[in-house]
Amino acid sequence: MLQEVALGTKSLADYTHLVGRGLVEEIRELAGELEGKRVLHISATAFGGGVSEILYTLVPLMRDAGLDTHWQVIMGREEFYNATKLLHNSLQGDPATLTAEQWELYDHYNEVNAKSIEDEWDVIIVHDPQPAGMRRIAEDQAKAWIWRCHIDLSEPNPEPIARLLPLITEYDMSVWHMQQYVPAGMDGHGGVHIVPPAIDPLSPKNMAFAPDDASFVCDQFGIDVDRPLICQVSRFDPWKDPMGVIDAYRIVTEEVPEVQLALVGSMATDDPEGWEFFQSTIQHADSDPDINIFNNLNNVGAIEVNAFQSQSDVAMQKSTREGFGLTVTEALWKGRPTIGGDVGGIPLQIVDGEGGFLVSSPEQAAQRSIEILTDPELGRKLGRAGKERARERFLTPRLLRDWLRMFGELDL
């Protein structure tokens, strides 16, 4: 059932000029103690979200550091992914929760996938709730198991977190974006680590893009490169609030009528609800020719996202709940003045008034957008500060170092 994800190669040395020789040397020293250790990452999907984007870089860099690292994704039918999407939402506070039949599906597919694990591993890292039940079935397949949580569990629906906690407390270690995401039920369980995620600055999505090239790509998709652009890149998901972004854009047009909006997202295999919300977002746009809505089925991939973000005058991530928000990091890294919802991991990235602005409503998002669009020097100042913060804190080599430190704490 588990499917191996095919990956390219990456070299840690290529990042030295971005993150500094000191960090690279620290990584090499830590990795020397772990040479040849076998590490398996397990996740729900190989594309369409922050987890997969992280692993496409992290796994090759772990290999370059000398670890025998692999990444496999679980398999399941549509009803399983419907259940796990509901679980994902309920763990972030949605009042709806799984039925008894859906929990049976969850347990069934966790068991089937767990029994398909081949070989023995030093560490198995399970990402997010979908495969969290696998350890209980396949405990003997690894010396140590780590559960990596990528979502905000600070205010979960009580029923699903009560069901999930007995599973995750059995792991040897758990990893969270922020301390406030760790649920109360984890108290007294050792091995809790706080590690923010990171982006790959050399990936096609984040590498330096010449302005003329970014303009050319945007022009191919009908974006007028001579007019200001607001851009949000995210899944089409209620928590990302694309409809609130449209509402903010409409307020901005009252003072900056030439502004355009681009909403850019990818549709994931484990997110059947996303298609329904995508259609709702299109309806909310009401055929406005200056609202551009794209997804990966419009031939929008990493290069195109890079171009849209690089060309934007205002980058936005107006989430109402957010585990971390790697699209914020991406925009900051490109030197874009960024407006984000004052929730979850976004304030960890944006210092309000320094690298961007934090907002809590469409009206606030619109006002901050107007300030940036009417004061280009403010936009440049915010962009410079945000890029430096991303460089210092949120690039993949730092994340690799943190993982190696955690492996060093385990008895491998």
126 is a domain residue: yes
CB contact burial 244-277 (16+ within 10 A = b; e otherwise): bbbbbbbbbbeebeebbbbbbbbbbbbbebbeeb
Residues 403 and 378 in one domain: no
- Count of other CB atoms within 10 angstroms of residue 36: 8
pLDDT digits (tens, 9 = 90+) for 74-121: 999 999 999 998 999 899 888 999 999 999 999 999 999 999 999 999
Q: Quote the domain boundaries for residue 312.
A: 211-393
Question: Do 185 and 219 share a domain, yes or no?
Answer: no
Looking at the structure, tell me whether residues 193 and 253 fall in a common domain: no
Q: How many domains does the chain have?
A: 2
Judgement on whether residues 182 and 248 belong to the same structural domain of the protein: no
How far is residue 325's CA from residue 341's CA, in Å, rounded to a whole number? 10
Residue 353 sits in the same domain as residue 236: yes
- What distance in Å separates the CA atoms of residue 130 and residue 158, rounded to the nearest whole number? 17
Taking only the tens place, the pLDDT of each residue in 245-289 is 999 999 999 999 999 999 998 776 556 677 888 889 999 999 999
**Strand bridging mode 229-233 / 260-265:** parallel
- For residues 150 and 323, is the Cβ–Cβ distance under 8 A? yes
Q: Does the residue 204 lie in any domain?
A: no
Question: Contact, 369 vs 347, CB < 8 A?
Answer: no
Residue 276 lies inside a defined structural domain of this protein: yes
Kind and range of the H or E element at 254?
none
Looking at the structure, tell me whether residues 193 and 140 fall in a common domain: yes
**Tokens standing for 300?**
């929008």
Same domain, 359 and 404: no
Q: Domain for residue 127, yes or no? A: yes
Do 186 and 224 fall within a single domain? no
Shared domain check, 30 and 111: yes
pLDDT single digits (tens) 32-51: 999 999 999 999 988 767 89
Distance CA 188, CA 184 (A): 9
Same domain, 153 and 231: no
Residue 74, domain CATH: 3.40.50.2000
Residue 203 lies in a domain: no
d(CA 154, CA 133): 21
Question: 327-359 pLDDT, tens per residue?
Answer: 999 999 999 999 999 998 999 999 999 999 999
In a domain, 239, yes or no: yes
Q: Do 21 and 108 belong together in one domain? A: yes
Residues 385 and 403 in one domain: no
pTM, full prediction? 0.90
Q: Are 62 and 41 within 8 A, CB to CB?
A: no
> How do strand 38-43 and strand 260-265 relate by DSSP bridges?
unpaired
Q: Is 206 inside any structural domain?
A: no
Examine residue 271 and state whether it is found in any structural domain, yes or no: yes
